[in-house]
Structure 1
Amino acid sequence: MPWRKAWVDPSSYPSDGNLSEEEEEQLRSVLRKRAYEVWISEIMLQQTRVAVVIGYWERWMERWPTVDALAAAAEDDVRSAWQGLGYYSRATRIHEAAKLVCNDPVLRGLLPATAEELEKKVPGVGRYTAGAISAIVFGRAAAMVDGNVLRVLSRQLGILGDVKTDKKVIDTLWAAADALVKAVAWGNDERREEGEPPLSDRPGRWGQALMELGSTVCTPKPNCSACPVTDTCRAYAEGHALATEAGLVGSSKKQLPAAPDIEELCGLCEYFEDVVELDDEEDGTVTLADNPPAKPKPVKDTKQSKLSSFFFTPTTRSSKGGDEEVTPATKPSLEAMEVIASHARKFPVRKPKKKVREEETVVCAIRRESLLEPLEYEYIIHRRPEKGLLAGMWELPSHVLPESNDSTPKSRKSAAISYASGLVRGNDLKYVGKLGSVPWLFSHLKLTMHVYLFEIVGYQQGNWDGKDARWADTEKINLENMGTGMKKCWELVRRSRDSDYNSES
């Protein structure tokens, strides 16, 4: 990953114990660069695979190598560079934040060092991104908790809860992550009870290691046999106990014992009986039943509310009556590991996904002969509103069909003609044909775009030349910042001159 680089140690810059003005500016310049690089990578990595992000990040850094260069960029250029990454509002917030940070007389282009200040002062930077920048760049003991880390910690602590919507569960796991990163930052330092831990590369390395563990080993379908931290994992211990009960693990004086069922001890966890495994080959989702039977929660033990009560170290009773730390006598068999991994999959739980809303639109490509280039065409494009889905992006005129969910080819054609005619009143509009349909899936919406081609004959000047709507030729539209789905619609239009049209009616 090109954004992963050696930590910038501030202690390597002082001269005679103090920073000179030149050294201070040099350090500030290096930190500005590193904070910018990490910030952009973390925003890009939200909801996007690493393999995809690498190319985007490298092209972005080549175009805008510093936060100052980004702040000076044109808004449309920034949106265009983000095309394909989705959630386009992120690009807008990044651009706004870059201008804010560069214009701030105190920050002067350098992102704040603490997670609290990052969240407070930088638009678009949330709890996770703030922790990542603070730990990786500035060496502070800040927790970095993404979805992968939430899954790892829910298994380590044995919390059978909803890590997406249950605030108590989420806060508990964040508190665990905070305690862990502080312990890692202190290491064996004898001053560990005094104030904040010293700055070092340990918090950043630790946070990235937890994320790597969750993305490669402790996945929704975990590979428990390859995990380096099974000795402290409550979910693993419980699974091991189940395998032992099933006779899949041989008896030994030193074997992992059954851990207490944490869901019976606190108010955070769901009941195993209410958990349903879904046959989801993509992510191995485990979820709660739609209507789990009503069951009273146990009275919350005040002792269990302490974070330390969740951390688990497997022990067994010795013949002398004392507790001894143990490890499995032998590596569990393949059958035993299947039982263990199956149990671990139950952590964390999620509520059933809401059905994605479906929507249909008619996309109207309205062309005219170019006034400047004979035998070429220009097309009407317009900018979407600055708020909402695909905010500020350009598109071919589109109209959302009523949510009756019973549209037909005839009704869609009629809707397209009616919509296009209303846009170019006073002109002779010719219906050319249907070019095809483009399905596109957003996180909350399944959209089907039906693309129709129209041509204006005997064009008269209308109201389409302006800030949010204009005529554009093929070359300009190819470079325009459109959503990826709309780009696919445009590709149908671009190829239409050499294609046969569907005379759908």
Structure 2
Amino acid sequence: MNSLVWSHKPLLVQFRQWTNQQRRGRRGRRTRNDNHQKRKTTLTLLITDPEEDIEDLFSEKEVKQIRVSLLEWYDENQRELPWRQRSGSESDGGDEEKRAYGVWVSEIMLQQTRVQTVIEYYNRWMKKWPTIHHLSQASLEEVNEMWAGLGYYRRARFLLEGAKMIVDGGGGFPNIVSALLKVPGIGNYTAGAIASIAFNEAVPVVDGNVIRVLARLKAISANPKDSLTIKKFWKLAAQLVDPCQPGDFNQSLMELGATVCTPLNPSCASCPVSGQCRALSMSKHDSSVLVTDYPIKVEKTKQRHDISAACVVEILGGQDGSEINLPDSRFLLVKRPDEGLLAGLWEFPSVMLDEEVDLTRRRKEVDCFLKKSFSLDSKKNCSIVSREDVGEFVHIFSHIRLKVYVELLVLRLKGGMNDWLEKQNKGTMAWKCVDNEALSNMGLTSGVRKVYTMVEKFKQKGSTTNSIPSRKRTSSKKLRCS
């Protein structure tokens, strides 16, 4: 069998080399059809046989060398991070549960988030909820506000649910992987990190950094997201983990990937395990092979494109309708459903649009929502002081590209705020009205904060430009929903 098919070189590198060989005539004359069939066969074997890509484990000698080198390097080079600091009792083996709680919080925060961003959030979190018992008494709204800006808010909810489950169970913090996996939001990686770092269980961890290090050490060109390949990475990591210092070893492997064996610019010259790195060895003997060819790049899933119309509804108090931003004005906020994207978080009233539509259509959709949900009807209980098109922006989630149109709608209620609130049927949608100070201090998501910032800048600009005539033109328009 052609050795090219089973080598450890990345697919593109192999294909490039094979093509060059064809051009130089090293494989003799072939017809165009033969070449096409050979190329097709090669690509198929490389893509569909991930098991052949990891044909052996580390040798016993390699395991010993990697353990010793990584632990020595980690002792000298580990970053000082708040979740790695131990109190005197913890270093003596005393408060393992407190250590486990800190590791758990940090690992959940670090998912999809940079270390430098997490540090501030972690310190504030631990100051407010220093133990799992403190966290178990918190509300989801408090947790969401503390988490605001970190993104992936489902993680925060799982932390709270997990804390309540552990405390209510009364059996203490789970100290082995099998028990940790029963806690909401704790998967194989997080369970391995907590069990090894806090409780010294000799179990592996595999995250993106670990995959990158292992893929280069073994020159693995199989798809790193393939389920069979992932199992092989776990098997390799389990072979390497040090039985005496599993926590430190796992952290050293992750630290190496984060600081030395980086995606684009690895510092191979300062790598403590460069002598065992197959990718580096291959690159030294073949200029067409790069260390950064491993692991292979996998095409990302295309983002979904959504469109939303967000309306910042400001309700004025008092009787004089000539001024905006009175001290007793209120902003209308809506709480998102408890499941799904940004679950349980507060936002300005908004509607999703099926397609790009003009301003008139957007306003019609918003008006229908406000009338149906809050009984805001300019024909009956309110008058429009001003209505302004503020602008638009694009907010990126991991899987969604959301285009948001923003407008400011300033209303004055007939009969006053209290009369309107008393007549409202809360129904199933949670909502509230807050003043400007409360809104400024709320833990809003980055997207909602962007909307609010745009409106505030628009107001400031309007106070020194020609925004007053614009308000006069729009003040006569009615909230219509047909």
Please give the TM-score of this superposition, normalised by the length of structure 2. 0.71
1:66-465 correspondence runs (5 A): 66-107=131-172, 111-120=173-182, 122-164=183-225, 166-181=226-241, 184-185=242-243, 200=244, 202-221=245-264, 222-243=266-287, 343-370=290-317, 375-402=327-354, 404=355, 406-423=356-373, 424-425=376-377, 426-430=380-384, 431-459=386-414, 461=420, 462-463=423-424
C-alpha contact 2:312 2:406 (8 A) present in aligned 1: yes
Give the drift of 1:91.
0.8
* Code of the aligned partner of 2:273: V
The one-letter amino acid of 2:290's match is H
Q: What SS is found at the alignment partner of 2:163?
A: helix
Contact 1:435-1:452 at 8 Å conserved across structures: yes
Distance 1:7 1:478, change over 3 A: closer
The 3 A distance-change label for structure 1 pair 217 and 375 is closer
Secondary structure of 1:364's match?
strand
Q: Secondary structure at the match of 2:309?
A: strand
> Percent sequence identity over matched residues?
35
Q: Matched residue of 2:333: which SS?
A: strand
Normalized against structure 1, the TM-score is what? 0.68
Partner of 2:149, secondary structure, is coil
Instruction: Note the C-alpha offset of 1:483.
Output: 1.6
Q: Secondary structure in 1 aligned to 2:290?
A: helix
The CA deviation string for residues 411-467 of structure 1, in whole angstroms up to 9 with x for no partner, is 444544454455423433525111222321110111122111123334362537577
**Conserved? CA contact 1:368–1:459, under 8 Å:** no
**1:138 CA displacement:** 0.9
Mapped partners of 1:356, 1:458: distance in 2: 41
SS at 1:178's partner residue? helix
- What are the ranges of 5 or more consecutive residues in structure 1 without an aligned counterpart? 14-26, 186-199, 244-338
Give CA deviations for 1:57-116 in whole Å, capped at 9, x if unaligned. 111111111111111122211110000110111111101111111111222xxx211122
> For 2:461 and 2:89, how far apart are their aligned partners in 1?
61
SS for the counterpart of 1:3 is helix
Which whole-Å CA distance do the structure 1 matches of 2:111 and 2:91 have between them? 32
Q: Which has the higher contact order (CA 8 A, sep 6+)?
A: 2
SS of the residue corresponding to residue 36 of structure 1 reads helix
In the TM superposition, residue 490 of structure 1 has moved relative to its aligned partner by 1.8
1:32 is aligned to 2:92: no
Contact 1:416/1:452, CA 8 A, preserved across alignment: no
In the comparison of the two structures, how many residue pairs are matched? 369
- The match for 1:259 is none
- State the secondary structure of the residue aligned to 1:453: strand
Aligned partners of 1:208, 1:46: CA distance in 2, in Å? 15
Moved more, 445-454 or 171-180: 445-454
Indicate if the aligned counterparts of 1:143 and 1:178 stay in contact, CA closer than 8 A. yes
Residue 5 of structure 1 pairs with residue 85 of structure 2: yes
Change (3 A) 1:11 1:391: closer
**Deviation at residue 7 of structure 1 after TM alignment:** 9.2
Provide the aligned C-alpha RMSD in A: 2.7
In 1, Cα distance between equivalents of 2:332 and 2:92: 58
Give CA deviations for 1:340-368 in whole Å, capped at 9, x if unaligned.
Answer: xx522221123311221222211112222
8 Å contact 1:119–1:127 — kept in the other structure? Answer: yes
Instruction: Quickly say closer, same or farther: Cα 1:371–1:149, change in 2 above 3 A.
Output: farther
